[in-house]
Structure formats: structure tokens, C-alpha cells
Amino acid sequence: MGLRSRPTRLSRRTTVAAPVVVGMLAGVLLLLPLGPDGVGGVVRIVVGLPFVLVLPGYVLSRAVLPGTGASCSVLQRVCWTLALDMALLVVSALLLNVLPNGLTGTSWVVLLLLVLPVAGVVAHVRERGPGRARTVLLSRAWWPTIQWPAPRRLLIAGATVAIAGAAIGLALVSATTQPSPGFSQLWLQPQGPTTTAAPETAQLGVYSDEDATRQFRVEVRPDGEPTQTWSFSLDPGDSWQQSVDVPGDARTVALLFRGSDPTPYRQVWTSP
């Protein structure tokens, strides 16, 4: 038997207004130029996920299904919060689609910023209806009492989280470190219009996804022309590109050699 504390009560005004205010602040924050990386990127994720996927749905669910306990259970609240949120996004997408700007980040944020206060007002009004519970969210209707779990329960809960975390971590680590044979790409892509007209130049490129830094040599052999050669090393994930002249009336062959191996590692060619 754990320790028992006094139940926490929040007024219905708080439990409707708080998500609206938090959502509005989150929306305004998302309108700022936070940038895609660094702290700004993290803020966008931490703030953006509840702003898009939870808060509008929660306020909508409070507007549609006011009250708690006998009016709407926790499971129903969770279910309808997420469902109404997704429904809002699906239907709103059709609306945003007809606007010139379409479904951009700004248009989504502005739309949700409009929905939140409107739904909040409706929820507030409906919560005042007859027979509604005076307190919600953390009232007795939701939690009999907020109890400190017994140590054994805490241990079990901790074990559950730890084991689930281990499963997730194992999946991530094993997939990230999964060995796969290294490879390199060689291409010779004619430039210009995509017709069958003979090209004058072509883009020659090498991309390495080998297991380590490798030394490469590329030879280009246009028919009847002197051979051009380039040597370079590439780290895994790096690429090398070169524009080369290719005669339109003859085949040009490009060969890729890896290390000191005299056998061509890759080969490509144009057609005359």
C-alpha cells in the first residue's frame, strides 16, 4: 500500500484554457524562423508534435464531448482526442489545398491557431452545461487518489520501461550496424536535352559507399581520342564528378579502377 496524497483538482476553466494557451504559444513559436537544425530544430519537434497531433484534438474533444467520468472516460478522451485531431488535419488539408499557398508549414500553423481558440470557447461554454463535473482532468473522476506506488510496483514499472527501451535500442543498434557489402557507383550521363540527339558533353561521376576510404582511378576512352585519367580517393558517402567531352558519333567508355587492381571495377559507356 503506497502513500496517499490529496487529490489534485484543476478547474474546468484551467483544463480547457491551458491547452488553448499552450497551443497558441506553441503556434506562435513555430511561426518564428527557428531553422531546421540545432536547438531550433529540436524546438520545432518538441513543440510541433503536440501542437499538430494532440492539442487541437484535445480541445475539440472537450468541445464535442464535454465533461469527464460519466460523460467521457479517459480511454474515450484519449481515443477521440487523437481521432478528432487526425480528422481535423485530413479535412483541413482539403481546405488548404484550394488556397494558393497550399499545405505549407505556415498555413498549417495559422489554421490550427484559428481552430484552437474557437474550439476552446465552444468547449468552455459546453463545460458549463447542466450536470457537468465541476472539476476535470485530475479530479477524483479520473484518479481515485494520486497514490505513490508501492516499491514493488515501481520496480515492475521500471522493469517494463527498461525492457521496452532495450527492445527499441536493440532494433536501432542492430539495424544501424548491420553489415552490408560496400559498393561504388560510376555513371556517364549525357547532358542537355533528353532526346536521342548526340550529346557534346557528359557528366562523369563516382560515388563511394565502400567500407573505408578508397583510392580510385577513372579512365575515359573516347573512340579515337586520347585517354583522360583522374585519380582520387573517396571516403564512404563521398562523390566525385567531372564534366567530359564525348563525341556524338562514337562510343565513349569510362572505366573505374579501385586501388591498384588493373581490372576495371565499374564500366559505363555512351552510345554513338
Residues 87 to 146 in contact with other proteins, rule: CB under 8 A: 87, 89-91, 93-94, 97, 101-105, 108-109, 140-145
CB-side neighbour CA atoms (13 Å) of 182? 16
Shortest distance, CB of residue 156 to other proteins, whole angstroms?
4
Among 10, 28, 32, 74, binds other proteins (CB under 8 A): 74
Stretch that binds other proteins, among 10-18, 117-125, 164-172, 226-234 (CB under 8 A): 164-172
Instruction: Considering only the C-alpha atoms of the chain, give the largest distance between any 2 of them, rounded to a whole number of Å.
Output: 94
Shortest distance, CB of residue 70 to other proteins, whole angstroms?
5
DSSP string, 12-72: HHHHHHHHHHHHHHHHHHHHS---SSHHHHHHHHHHHHHHHHTHHHHHHHHHHS-SSTTS-
What is the chain's alpha carbon radius of gyration, rounded to the nearest angstrom?
31
Contact flags string 224-263 toward other proteins, x per CB under 8 A: --------------------------------x-------
Number of residues this chain uses to bind other proteins (CB under 8 A):
90
Stretch that binds other proteins, among 8-16, 17-25, 72-80, 225-233 (CB under 8 A): 72-80
Residue that the C-alpha cell 565513349 belongs to: 252
Q: Which helix (H) or strand (E) holds 214?
A: strand 214-222
Q: How far apart are CA 235 and CA 241, in angstroms?
A: 14
Among 25, 114, 125, 171, binds other proteins (CB under 8 A): 171
Shortest distance, CB of residue 73 to other proteins, whole angstroms?
5
Site for other proteins in 16-55 (CB under 8 A): 30, 36, 41, 44-45, 48-49, 51-53
Shortest distance, CB of residue 74 to other proteins, whole angstroms?
5
Stretch that binds other proteins, among 85-93, 117-125, 212-220, 225-233 (CB under 8 A): 85-93
**Cβ neighbours of 246 (radius 10 Å):** 24
Q: Are 256 and 186 in contact (CB under 8 A)?
A: yes
Site for other proteins in 177-196 (CB under 8 A): 178-181, 183-190, 194, 196
- Site membership for other proteins, residue 156 (CB under 8 A): yes
- Site membership for other proteins, residue 80 (CB under 8 A): yes
- Site membership for other proteins, residue 216 (CB under 8 A): no
Closest CA to 225 of 204, 246, 202: 246
Q: How far apart are CA 203 and CA 246, in angstroms?
A: 10
